[in-house]
Amino acid sequence: DLKTAAQTPPPPTDNQGDNAALARQHYNELKEVSLAKRHESKIFNLRGFNNYVKSLTMNDFLARLGPLGKRGATILDLGCGKGGDLRKWGLAKPAHVVCVDIADVSIEQCRNRYRERPTELTYKANFIVADCTRVDLDDKYVEENIPDVEFDLVSCQFVLHYGFESQGQAKRMIKNAVSHLKPGCFFFGTIPNSNYLVKKYLSLSEGSRFGSDVYYVDFLEANRTSFPVFGAKYVFYLDGAVKELPEFLIHFPLLKSMMEDEGCECVLAEPFTDYIYRTDPSTGERTLKDVEVLSRTRGLNDQGTLPESEWEVVACYMVFGFRKLTDEERE
């Protein structure tokens, strides 16, 4: 029973804090790369693809907000990194974006990027360094003089899985995501697709690692017969982007149950490989969503396809979205 599992205290771990420190150090040390250098990267197309999917999710949830999605929204970017999404948010003309990340150097780079584009990024912004799995962001909002901030959207792109090391950390991260979210509004993002990762691992005839020439996933410490609910660790490597970082499986029904405990309903859960398509209800024909965004995306052809070794990485991810219920709906 997942609800019971979610309420059972996690076993103590002897490496508390080490993995967060590893993530902080890794992302802090990651160099900002020029466009010319990015062209040389083995994952040039994949980076473009991930940006395309992020834009799709942002546009999807901005649209769900109605007129506010076209101007004036307040947004939390949880695990914003170096600010790769600042310009994407700019297109939605929000009123205010709060950027939070564990990596102080990344936050500094994010702040600088924002300052360098005053005419394009006209929204108000705050930049906060915090381990979202351990710190109560309420305290940070007080320090930033935004104690009563209320979000229309909370975006969490490629980050939530770092929080599933323990029950306490996952709960803290989820509370940080939804506690200042307005009722009727949305928490969404991108995460590894645990079902796919586990299926790939279990289909290995030997060893604990699968991948292509651009990535690998290694379930080095895993046990083939069962996975813990929290702290189900694997190591992820992605050429030129992630060098062997520990990540943790998010069993989606568990996330759903934890979100329900916080008064949120699931409105989206789909692998990347399905989410990018729109199906015509009368003909059943599948076409790529938002070709306009696609055409602005570097590295992809107009079919939205990637070389096989990069497409394998795409298959490892899924999109998610939750809506916070209103008080009346919760009664």
Task: For ligand SAM, give the closer residue by CB, 88 or 325.
Answer: 88
Q: Taking CB positions, which residue lies at the least distance from ligand SAM?
A: 81
Q: How far is the CB of 214 from ligand SAM (least distance, A)?
A: 15
Shortest distance in whole angstroms from residue 233 CB to ligand SAM: 14
Query: 243: Cβ–Cβ under 8 A, 6 or more apart, which residues?
Result: 26, 237
Tokens of 167: 């029950």
Give whichever of 2 and 315 is closer to ligand SAM, judged by the CB atom: 315
**Rounded to an integer, what is the distance from CA 289 to the centroid of its chain?**
20
**Residue 317 near ligand SAM by CB under 6 A:** no
DSSP element (H, E) containing 319? strand 317-324
Of the residues 5, 90, 104, 158, which one makes contact with ligand SAM according to CB under 6 A: 158
User: For residue 128, how many other CB atoms are within 10 A of its CB?
Assistant: 19
> Per residue in 51-75, is it b (16+ CB within 10 Å) or e — as a string?
bbbbbbbbbbbbebbeebbeeebbb
Decide: is 157 part of the binding site for ligand SAM (CB under 6 A). Answer: yes
State which residue, 29 or 265, has the beta carbon closest to ligand SAM: 29
* Residue for token pair 């900002």: 32
Encoded one letter per residue, x for contact with ligand SAM by CB under 6 A and - for no contact, window 14-33 reads: ------x--x---x------
Window 28-67: contact mask with ligand SAM (x via CB under 6 A) = ----------------------------------------
Phi-psi region at 231: left, alpha or beta (left = phi > 0; alpha = psi -120 to 50): left
Window of 80-88, 195-203, 212-220, 262-270 that interacts with ligand SAM by CB under 6 A: 80-88
Q: Which stretch binds ligand SAM (CB under 6 A): 74-82, 144-152, 201-209, 288-296?
A: 74-82
User: Does residue 79 interact with ligand SAM by CB under 6 A?
Assistant: yes
Torsion (CA) 265, 171, 313, 13 in degrees, nearest 10 = -150
Residue 163 identity (one-letter amino acid):
G
**Structure-token pair, residue 251:** 């069993």
76 is an interface residue for ligand SAM by CB under 6 A? no
Which lies closer to ligand SAM via its Cβ, residue 68 or residue 177?
177
d(CA 235, CA 242): 10
Backbone dihedral angles phi then psi of residue 321, each to the nearest 5 degrees: -155, 140
Q: Report if residue 102 touches ligand SAM, rule: CB under 6 A.
A: yes
Q: Does 98 interact with ligand SAM (rule: CB under 6 A)?
A: no
Q: Which residue has tokens 């991930």?
A: 50
> In the range 104-143, which residues lie near ligand SAM by CB under 6 A?
106, 131-133
Sheet containing 233-238, strands listed edge to edge, beginning at the edge strand earlier in sequence: 209-211, 215-218, 233-238, 242-248
Taking CB under 6 A as the rule, does residue 74 contact ligand SAM? no
Applying CB under 6 A, the residues found at the interface with ligand SAM are: 20, 23, 27, 79-81, 84, 101-103, 106, 131-133, 157-159, 162
